[in-house]
Amino acid sequence: MSAPLLWIFIPAALALPALLISNGRILSIVGGSLALLLSLVALIVPIDQALQIGNFSLKIAPEIEILGRRLILTPADGSLLAIFYGLVAMWFYGAEVTRTAHRLVPLGLIIIALLVASIAVEPFLYAAILIEIAVLLAVPLLLPVNQAPGPGVMRFLIYQTMGMPFILFAGWLLTGVESSPSDLALAVQSATILGLGFAFLLAMFPLYVWLPMLAEEVSPYALGFLFWVLPTITIIFGMGFLDRYSWLRTSAGLSQVLSVGGLVMVVTGGLWSAFQRHLSRQMAYAVIAETGFSLLAFSLSPEKAVDAVFLLIIPRSLALLVWAMSLTQMKELAEPLRFSAVQGLARKHPVTTAGLILAHFSIAGFPLLAGFPVRLALWEGLASQSLGVAFWFLIGILGLLTGATRTLAVLVMAPQGTGWELQERWRPGILIGIGVLGLFLLGIFPQIFRPIMANLPGMFEHLGK
């Protein structure tokens, strides 16, 4: 058996019969268990190494060739597969209580398979096409069949699609740069076009106007899943570009471009979050800031950058999972999710409120929560390079904290004499409570996943070396 067959083709193939399962609870359990099994296999069984169990020997081949193209998953990719499918399992287990299992599980399996394939495919430029197919599949994931797409969905599709031709054209130009490294004009043109492509895919400033619009139109849970998985894979894909082209990796202005771009996203995302009165839009602006954190992490010194980027993956997914699930429960209680409609909900739904607020605080880097250790390390690294960048980073963090504090004030605000009365649905409440516990455990013991994360820089031949 080959690794691409196990972690790409099998999940994609099983997504088709999953469409026939009508019971959302069974679908959620089956999909989550499949993703968890794939995660455990990636964690236990090494790729391209024989595993001896008694008289039985098992070896997973690293590659497969299809239509003249190779899909390669190296032993270093095993840790990433374990993390990704483990996080996907958590999203699938929560899909039933948010009533999104019928869309999220089958389409999510295909999307994650395509995104894993984008990391494995050779020639690597085909990754842009695979990411675009995943974006197209995201539309039916976000919208029920009977719901017409709004302007946010249309802009999401347009902006994400516009990134693909830029990246493909830049890849073609980069081939010319490799053969003529002294051609400075060609190098500048290819780097500029490549930057535009990733600016569209990552929704960088000012191309992120569709994110808050989309957040108002679609299911928060499905959107949270895409807010986690698409930027994460895109950033890893971008790291592959830098690892492959030495002149781009060693460019004198690369760190400055990443630093400025990431800082603008952190500051604007944080400040707009502070003034928002819509809960879904607040999550969108927090995601903008989170992508900025990843860009800032990669602008650090080469020996720290790769580790810092990977350390953001698990806290980001866990916080968005808890936030999206809490928002979905609130959307059933108040529509639209504006401050005027959700005022005082904490009095009757304290667990849902706690999940939403603590997830927001975690992304803002509040102490003892999952986002705090990596934010602190990132702030320290930025301060060692530039105190000005560290100051503006703090401004973005304060904006996120202000938005979370305003939301908390509104949710607990109620007419005088209003009592506290628990009206939580017990199943979502338990899942949100488990997620909140995970936020605290990951914040207090950030070293839990360190043994798995330590192998991730091995995915790249030059980065982090």
Pick 442 or 60 by higher pLDDT.
Answer: 442
pLDDT for the residue 226: 93
- Report how far residue 310's alpha carbon sits from residue 13's, in angstroms, rounded to the nearest whole number: 29
Q: Give the mean pLDDT of 339-348.
A: 86
* DSSP H stretches of helix in 276-312: 279-298, 302-311
Residue 102 has pLDDT above 80, yes or no: yes
| Torsion over CA: 41, 92, 84, 379 (sign) | negative
* Phi, psi of 365, rounded to the nearest 5 degrees: 85, 35
Q: Are 225 and 104 in contact (CB under 8 A)?
A: yes
pLDDT for the residue 53: 66
Q: Give the mean pLDDT of 220-231.
A: 93
Helices 184-201 and 151-179, axial angle in degrees (round to 10): 160
* Phi, psi of 225, rounded to the nearest 5 degrees: -60, -45
pLDDT for the residue 451: 83
Give the percent of the chain with pLDDT over 90: 46
Spell out a b/e string for 113-133, using b for 16 or more CB atoms within 10 Å of the CB, else e.
bbbbbbbbbeebbbbbebbbb
Residue 181 has pLDDT above 80, yes or no: no
Residue 198 has pLDDT above 80, yes or no: yes
Report the predicted TM-score, pTM, of the whole model to 2 decimal places. 0.93
Residue 128 has pLDDT above 70, yes or no: yes
* DSSP H stretches of helix in 94-209: 101-120, 126-142, 151-179, 184-201
- Report how far residue 363's alpha carbon sits from residue 269's, in angstroms, rounded to the nearest whole number: 12
Q: Are 297 and 378 in contact (CB under 8 A)?
A: yes
Three-state secondary-structure class, residue 2: strand
Cis peptide preceding 336, ω within 30 of 0:
yes
pLDDT for the residue 177: 64
| Torsion over CA: 427, 432, 438, 444 (sign) | negative
Q: Are 137 and 199 in contact (CB under 8 A)?
A: no
Least confident of 242-246, 308-312, 344-348: 242-246
Q: Mean pLDDT, the chain, as a whole number?
A: 87
Residue 122 has pLDDT above 90, yes or no: no
Q: Are 350 and 424 in contact (CB under 8 A)?
A: yes
pLDDT for the residue 396: 94
Spell out a b/e string for 362-389, using b for 16 or more CB atoms within 10 Å of the CB, else e.
bbbbbeebbbbbbbebbbebbeeeeeeb
Residue 453 has pLDDT above 80, yes or no: yes
pLDDT for the residue 455: 80
- Report how far residue 222's alpha carbon sits from residue 391's, in angstroms, rounded to the nearest whole number: 34
Element (H, E) at 346: none
pLDDT for the residue 409: 93
Banded model confidence at residue 246, pLDDT cuts 50, 70, 90: confident
Residue 47 has pLDDT above 70, yes or no: yes
Banded model confidence at residue 78, pLDDT cuts 50, 70, 90: confident
Helices 10-18 and 24-44, axial angle in degrees (round to 10): 170
* DSSP secondary structure code for residue 53 in this structure: E
Residue 145 has pLDDT above 90, yes or no: no
